[in-house]
Structure 1
Amino acid sequence: MKALLLKAKGQWDSMPVEEIDTPSPGKGEVLVKIHAAGLNPVDYKTATNGNPNWEYPHILGLDGAGIIEQVGDEVTEWKAGDRVVYHGDLMRKGTFAQYAIAQAHTISKLPESISFVHAAAIPTAGYTAYQALFRKLHIHRGQTILIHAGAGGVGGYAIQMVKYMGLTVITTASRHNHDFVKKLGADYAIDYKEEDFVNRTLEITNGIGVHAVLDTVSSDNATKSLDTLTFNGQMAYIAGAPDFAQGVSFARPLSFHQIALGGVYQSSNTAEQADLAMMGDEMINLLLGGYVDPMIKKTISLEEIPQALVELSERHVTGKIVAEIEQE
């Protein structure tokens, strides 16, 4: 099979496409013929320093959509020919290839009405947003939420889902992305380069603050965001924990939630791993209902992935980039 190979850590911007052996599924696994693979910042971030569990050459890519080619032993719920989408295990070889191995209990069925390209744009960013909002923050109608980096993958999916749930949405984004995030459903967009987002958020909420914050930026940004939370406010963070001691008091108790979507593969808790499939099913239903747009910025080839990862690393990409590995 053809695969994009990471020959050594740090070489993600110059990965060649080469022929390697097609893997075979083991017990509880399926072999997926990859039709489309989504790109995410985690791809270049992990490849920069490598991982002690990888054997080189390694194959990056966590988001895959395609057709099951073969099932392994003890797989009874899936068969060859099934269309699927999934979020893969960071420790294993990934989806930037013609074929990839997935764990059967973590994949979701993909209906014919959704393209592989649209589906592949969802898992890492979409499931992360879903987990933060519905597994951790337990958002509900009438609340107000501050979502950082709304023009990115996680932020963009989060905006769409919370708007569907009936929340008031405040987001941070560069000014040239304000139209984009408002089309996704943001009620207010704050240019973090020109405005103090804490002061602006408190102004929007008449000094009360927001019920929840989703921080996708940094530990420092999460710490600053504590000042935007109201009484019993909650924060979910994916890019570093805030300084929990800052702004927390008896008069303003707060709750914190760490989001580490792929970390579940390092656990022996198969029920929690299977929740990846459940979140995938829910995201597919939102896509089918027209409540979520996959936000695809562009579609590329397998060979073009390294340059696209460079674009992601420069932090100027709005929405999602998807590599089409096999034409539908």
Structure 2
Amino acid sequence: MKALVLPKPGKPDTLNIAELPLPEPGPGEIRVRVQAAGLNPIDYKVSPNGHPAWNYPFVLGIDVAGVVDAVGEGVTTWKPGDRVAYMADFTKPGGFAEYTVTVAHTVAAIPDGVSFTDAAAFPCAGLTAYQVLTRKMQIRPGQSILVHAGAGGVGGYAIQLAKLYGASPIIATASPHNAEYVRSLGADHVIDYTTENVQERVLALTNGVGVDLILNSLNRATAQQDLSTLAFGGQLACIAGAPETVADFQPSSKSFTLHKLMIAGAYGSGSRKAEEELAILAGEFMALLQQNKVSAMVQEIIELEQVPDALIRLSQRHVRGKIVAKL
């Protein structure tokens, strides 16, 4: 089969097209004929140093949509021909290939009306946003929210979901180039992080009270600053690093809640229930796609050979929405 492979630990520009043996599903697994695969920051963040579990050449790509091609022993929930989408275990070969294998209990059926490209766009970023807003924060109508990097995958999905669930106001950070796009997703206010003081603007927009919810997908430094913009009883969710001095933060009377997130951690948890939750979340999210309540935000559809260049652009953090490779 044709695959885009990482020959050894290295940056995305070392990826190349190669022929690999057709993988065979083991007990409890399914083989998927890949139709589309989404690109994510994890692809370029992990590849330079590799992972101890990887065997080379290794296939990246954790967002997968395709058709079940074969089932392993004991699999009764899926059959050849079923349309499925899922977030793969990044320690195992992924979706930048014509065929890939995954455990059967982590995938969800693609409903009628949802394309393979849309189904491949959302898993990692969409499920991260969906999990934090609905499962962790339990967002309620009327709550205010700050979403960092509103034009990106996690941020863009979070803004749409916040709008859907009645959050107000929805404040997002973005570059001037992406401001109108972020507003089109549902943001009420867009802060230009390149020229404005985000914390001062948030407090000004909330009459000094702060916001109820913050989703930070940037870094520890901005997460630390976010503590000063939380309202009493607020919640801060961090994807790329939590504040370093939470215990010493004053005023402690704000009584905030901190969520540390990595949805891919379900695979390393040792809990089948945690892995099965990925399929449940994906099913719920695709129902929103089917009902046109959320956009998949696909901004660019590329070929497998174009993935390395696209990952380089993604690493520069100026990509809007989602990029999907169509096989």
Tell me the TM-score normalized by structure 2: 0.98
Alignment partner of 1:223 is 2:228: no
Checking the alignment, whether the CA contact within 8 Å between 1:131 and 1:259 is kept in structure 2 is no
Q: What code does the residue aligned with 1:129 have?
A: A
Q: What code does the residue aligned with 1:113 have?
A: G
In structure 2, the partner of 1:294 is 296
Aligned residues: 325
In structure 2, the partner of 1:265 is 267
Structure 1 residue 303, shift from structure 2 partner:
0.7
**Cα distance change on mapping 1:285 and 1:191 into 2, 3 Å:** same
Residue by residue over 1:170-217, the C-alpha shift from the partner in whole angstroms, topping out at 9 and shown as x without a partner, is 000001111000000001100011111111001111111100100000
Q: Which runs of 5+ in 1 are unaligned?
A: none
Stretch of structure 1 that moved more, 15-24 or 82-91: 15-24
Structure 1 residue 45, shift from structure 2 partner:
0.4
In structure 1, the partner of 2:312 is 310
Q: What code does the residue aligned with 1:204 have?
A: L
SS for the counterpart of 1:181 is helix
Moved over 2 A (4+): 245-250
SS for the counterpart of 1:146 is strand
SS for the counterpart of 1:251 is helix
How many Å separate the matches in 2 of 1:160 and 1:248? 32
How many Å separate the matches in 2 of 1:242 and 1:73? 46
How many Å separate the matches in 2 of 1:248 and 1:106? 42
In structure 2, the partner of 1:190 is 191
Stretch of structure 1 that moved more, 83-92 or 245-254: 245-254
Structure 1 residue 248, shift from structure 2 partner:
4.2
How many Å separate the matches in 2 of 1:147 and 1:30? 36
Checking the alignment, whether the CA contact within 8 Å between 2:12 and 2:309 is kept in structure 1 is no
Alignment partner of 1:255 is 2:257: yes
In structure 1, the partner of 2:115 is 115
Checking the alignment, whether the CA contact within 8 Å between 1:147 and 1:159 is kept in structure 2 is yes
Checking the alignment, whether the CA contact within 8 Å between 2:7 and 2:14 is kept in structure 1 is no
Alignment partner of 1:136 is 2:136: yes
Tell me the TM-score normalized by structure 1: 0.97
Q: What code does the residue aligned with 1:270 have?
A: R
SS for the counterpart of 1:178 is helix
Residue by residue over 1:110-133, the C-alpha shift from the partner in whole angstroms, topping out at 9 and shown as x without a partner, is 023111011100101100111111
Structure 1 residue 11, shift from structure 2 partner:
4.0
In structure 2, the partner of 1:181 is 182
How many Å separate the matches in 1 of 2:295 and 2:248? 36
How many Å separate the matches in 2 of 1:160 and 1:79? 33
How many Å separate the matches in 2 of 1:291 and 1:178? 21
**Cα distance change on mapping 1:160 and 1:323 into 2, 3 Å:** same
Q: Which runs of 5+ in 2 are unaligned?
A: none
**Cα distance change on mapping 1:246 and 1:184 into 2, 3 Å:** farther
Alignment partner of 1:283 is 2:263: no
Checking the alignment, whether the CA contact within 8 Å between 2:108 and 2:282 is kept in structure 1 is yes
Checking the alignment, whether the CA contact within 8 Å between 2:33 and 2:66 is kept in structure 1 is yes
How many Å separate the matches in 1 of 2:319 and 2:138? 29
Checking the alignment, whether the CA contact within 8 Å between 2:128 and 2:154 is kept in structure 1 is yes
- Pairs within 5 Å for 1:1-328: 1-168=1-168, 169-243=170-244, 244-245=246-247, 247-325=249-327
How many Å separate the matches in 2 of 1:248 and 1:65? 46
Checking the alignment, whether the CA contact within 8 Å between 1:152 and 1:319 is kept in structure 2 is yes
How many Å separate the matches in 1 of 2:321 and 2:191? 18
Residue by residue over 1:210-263, the C-alpha shift from the partner in whole angstroms, topping out at 9 and shown as x without a partner, is 001000000001000111101111111000011313534442111101111111
Structure 1 residue 10, shift from structure 2 partner:
1.1
Q: What code does the residue aligned with 2:228 have?
A: D
Residue by residue over 1:44-94, the C-alpha shift from the partner in whole angstroms, topping out at 9 and shown as x without a partner, is 101011111111100000000000000111111111100000000011000
